[in-house]
Structure 1
Amino acid sequence: MSEEALSNIELLKEIAEFLNNETEQCDMLHGALKKLIDGTSFSTGWIFFIEESGKHQLAAYEDLPESLHYNGCELMHNGGCWCVNRFRKGKLTKASNIIECQRIEKAIEENRGNTNHITHHATVPLQSGEEAYGLLNVAAPHKTHFTKDELALLESVAFQIGSAIKRITLTKKEQEIALLAERNRLARDLHDSVNQLLFSLTLTARGGVEMTSDKQVKETFATVQTLAQVALSEMRALIWQLRPNGLENGLVEAVKGYSDMLGLKLAATVEGVISLSSKVEEVLWRISQEALNNCKKHAGVQTVSYLLKDDGSKIALVIVDKGYGFQYDESQPLPSIGIESMKERVKSLGGTFQLESALERGTTLTVKIPY
């Protein structure tokens, strides 16, 4: 066995050990890519994730030349190229030599900086079984052709990364199931203990009001009753958030139940045939909760408009209230942690978040999530 072959085996072993110990996808991609670049003659590499819709995302990179790193890796985030287009069409199934890199060509045309003498790159799909996640690309200065051994090494590394992605994905699904079970347990415990205690406290305070003739004592019991009722309402809202009754009957029914619990009237409209994955449904449910809570606390209205629309490629959620509104400038930081949380949830699924509000003109929340 040649020295190069032995070196490749050692590298594959090192990468495999690293991948087996890593639990965070982002760290895993960056670490594996760095080990590959450091252990070979390749000088740079990058990983694209490609969604079913065909949209690509720069998931990791190592030692990109100035021209590709320019302006926040703009050329890597935007536009098409041969390898991504071939992957989208299902025609890229093994490690391949790329004749020319269109992103490098564009960088040269637009004088975006040093290319480190890179003009070509090799590409290999990241996959595990029948599941394909994206592409692993590598390049080196003045290199216009990659040998069979180099392509074989890339295929082995890509297979390892693909398997690690699947493992981490399955682990996260298991964690989500465990988290849901824990939420259900906590919701039951809160309902059976704290919720019942608060209800009992409300009844006791009400009885105290009726039993005493002392005005000051009566007012004290009345205050306790009011506080207990507020706490009971907050506890019921918390239980709903932990375990939404009715979500098994669909998102809209769950939101209607939640709005009833808050004392709001929901004017709900559904357009199109709505069929949501559990992940999308969970995000829309949490966003609906936060939006309705804000309406209850700040809008000063009793009726909220709720539209759920399927346009064939995206699910659109539009929540409108005609309440007090607030001064909102989209160029400034979002005004609350709750709204920031909604935005992050939508972003995690590749969706868009839009908030429109003005004093005395109400608030409109628009969310669009691809599926």
Structure 2
Amino acid sequence: MAIDEIKHSSDLHILKNIAELLNEETDLSQMMKGVIKKLLQITGFTTGWIFFIDEEDKSHTLAAAENLPAALTYCQCQPMKKGSCWCVDKLQNGRLKKASNIMECKRIEEATINELGETNGITHHATVPLQSGKEVFGLLNVASPNKKEFSSRELALLESVAFQIGSAIKRVKLTKKEQEMALVQERNRLARDLHDSVNQLLFSLTLTARGGEAMTNDKDIKETFSMIGELSQSALTEMRALIWQLRPKGLEIGLLEAIKGYGEMLGLQVSTQLNGVLCLPSKLEEALWRIGQEALNNCKKHSGQDCVHMALDASEKEINLEISDDGCGFDFDEEKGLFSLGLQSMKERTENLNGTFKIISRLGEGTKIKVVLPY
């Protein structure tokens, strides 16, 4: 068999292995870790990493890495997570359209200057964009010790692999979007069903209790009907709150108005203040909406007050949300952690978006919740 035929057969074998791995995996994080590991195993390159590029702010994140030298794994891979580099800059400037040799790795160079650890002889790497059609998702980089240049065959192979990865990323993203749409549709269906059935039954029960109370002069019976009416009214309020959580109304006219409307539905008087212009990504808007809901639920249940103040402050890089009341407050010890599932949920939503969550509260001095999210 001719050498060219052997190389061609080897490349097809590599692409087949990569395709099988990508088709089996549905989790994006695990997919990237698996594909970089498999690529190195079957190509002979020693080191590889993948950067994802955010569509909105063009920032990059380290999606997966395999066999990085100590200089790049310093302090939990900080040299890979912070700062710019030539390959990312070229991609963002539209100058990286296909697999290319990068003359030197800027991250390795800076790590060497700062004496962060061994580089294992790596100075250069090949880089190729991960894309599907016109959509660009990130970068695939590979390297080997003392290797300063990649052949045209190696670059062509990496380009084919990157195309496979880009197509797989597109498939996973589309699947996730379909699942999110299906979830929204299911929430809307449940909200309609609850409104049309249980909500109406509770409303009817409230009216029946009032009628029964008015029709009798017996004190005990009146008290019974009154208690039934109060319980059904309370259940009706809870049901309306649940329907709001399933299908929030008002987000189309603004986040603050939506949260304010939810508070009024709970019987709260919500004053609002907005500084800056808001045009939030959907994931941030959804998180702030859910955090606001939970905060108002806590105010209603625990503060003993009906007045709540909410402030939203938007800057170029972050969004600040503050919700406060002048209620009874509580003794909060940050070192002991959060004792409420609602508070824990708000904190987790915030930290999942790389934000900060803070509670300020003292007995008799009210409670303030502060959320800061970058965007």
Q: What is the TM-score with the length of structure 2 in the denominator? A: 0.88
Q: Deviations over 1:322-358 (max 9, x none)?
A: 333344455664443333333443444x452332312
1: CA distance, partners of 2:75 / 2:300: 43
* Counterpart in the other structure of 1:119: 123
1:25 to 20, 24, 28: 28
Structure 2 counterpart of 1:191, one-letter code? H
Shift in Å at residue 268 of structure 1?
Answer: 1.5
Stretch moving more, 358-367 or 326-335: 326-335
1:192 to 189, 196, 201: 196
Pairing 1:10-49 to 2, within 5 Å after superposition: 10-49=13-52
* Counterpart in the other structure of 2:149: 145
2:170 to 149, 166, 170: 166
Q: Deviations over 1:103-126 (max 9, x none)?
A: 333444444444333222221121
1:366 to 353, 365, 371: 371
Q: Does 1:53 align with 2:57?
A: yes
Aligned residues: 369
Percent of aligned pairs with the same residue? 58
Q: What is the TM-score with the length of structure 1 in the denominator? A: 0.89
Task: Say if 1:346 and 1:369, in contact at 8 Å, map to a contact too.
Answer: no
2:357 to 330, 354, 358: 354
Shift in Å at residue 284 of structure 1?
Answer: 2.3
Stretch moving more, 94-103 or 191-200: 94-103
Q: Deviations over 1:210-244 (max 9, x none)?
A: 45555555544443333222221111100011112
Shift in Å at residue 186 of structure 1?
Answer: 0.5
2: CA distance, partners of 1:334 / 1:135: 40
> Structure 1 residues 339, 127: closer, same or farther in 2, change over 3 A?
farther
Task: Say if 1:325 and 1:357, in contact at 8 Å, map to a contact too.
Answer: no
Stretch moving more, 37-46 or 123-132: 123-132
1: CA distance, partners of 2:278 / 2:50: 33
1: CA distance, partners of 2:83 / 2:155: 26
1: CA distance, partners of 2:270 / 2:304: 14
Q: Does 1:102 align with 2:84?
A: no
Shift in Å at residue 160 of structure 1?
Answer: 1.4
What is the RMSD of the two structures over their aligned residues, measured on CA atoms? 2.5
> Structure 1 residues 298, 4: closer, same or farther in 2, change over 3 A?
farther
Stretch moving more, 288-297 or 220-229: 220-229
Shift in Å at residue 81 of structure 1?
Answer: 2.2
2: CA distance, partners of 1:188 / 1:6: 58
Pairing 1:219-368 to 2, within 5 Å after superposition: 219-328=223-332, 333-348=337-352, 350-359=353-362, 360-368=365-373
Q: Does 1:8 align with 2:29?
A: no
> Structure 1 residues 10, 314: closer, same or farther in 2, change over 3 A?
same
* Counterpart in the other structure of 2:187: 183
2: CA distance, partners of 1:142 / 1:193: 71
Which residues of structure 1 form unaligned runs of 5+? none
Structure 1 counterpart of 2:370, one-letter code? L
Task: Say if 2:131 and 2:163, in contact at 8 Å, map to a contact too.
Answer: yes
1: CA distance, partners of 2:77 / 2:190: 45
1: CA distance, partners of 2:24 / 2:6: 28
Partner SS for 1:97:
strand
1: CA distance, partners of 2:167 / 2:335: 41
Partner SS for 2:84:
coil
Stretch moving more, 164-173 or 188-197: 164-173
Partner SS for 1:2:
helix
Q: Deviations over 1:280-335 (max 9, x none)?
A: 33222222211211221223332222223332444443323333334445566444
2: CA distance, partners of 1:107 / 1:233: 59
Which residues of structure 2 form unaligned runs of 5+? none
Partner SS for 1:192:
helix
1: CA distance, partners of 2:338 / 2:48: 36
Task: Say if 1:354 and 1:366, in contact at 8 Å, map to a contact too.
Answer: yes
Task: Say if 1:323 and 1:363, in contact at 8 Å, map to a contact too.
Answer: no
> Structure 1 residues 255, 361: closer, same or farther in 2, change over 3 A?
closer
Shift in Å at residue 148 of structure 1?
Answer: 1.4
1: CA distance, partners of 2:151 / 2:335: 50
